[in-house]
């Protein structure tokens, strides 16, 4: 499974549970548009999690998705820590089971 597939499956599970969440793109890419190469930067802050949402009780939700041996960067860990310290729920998910354990 790729990280993209994991993100999609977790978003599907959250939608099924009626939890408001979305994919948060961050970073940059070079793409072609109308025959010209363009540099596109996605809005966001450094370390922003893959999935952002709001739990039914109003708490902020941040999920960093990882597969295989991939590890979170220091910036990603700092973002997760900041969310948790602020009363939100933030964690690394390698499967839907991780989501279930973390949000109940």
Residues forming beta bridges with residue 39, ordered by sequence position: 30
Under 8 Å between Cβ of 49 and 24 = yes
Least confident residue range of 4-18, 20-34, 54-68? 20-34
Under 8 Å between Cβ of 91 and 80 = yes
CA distance 23 to 32: 23
Q: Is the pLDDT of residue 52 over 90?
A: yes
pLDDT, position 45: 84
pLDDT, position 29: 78
């Amino acid at each position: 499974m790729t990280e993209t597939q994991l993100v999609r499956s977790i978003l599907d599970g959250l939608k099924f549970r009626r939890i408001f969440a979305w994919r948060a793109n961050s970073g940059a890419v070079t793409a072609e548009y109308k025959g010209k190469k363009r540099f596109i930067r996605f809005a966001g802050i450094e370390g922003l999690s893959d999935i952002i949402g709001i739990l039914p009780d109003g708490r902020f939700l941040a999920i960093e998705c990882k597969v295989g041996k991939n590890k979170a960067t220091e910036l990603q860990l700092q973002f997760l820590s900041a969310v948790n310290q602020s009363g939100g729920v933030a964690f690394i998910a390698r499967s839907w089971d991780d989501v279930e354990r973390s949000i109940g």
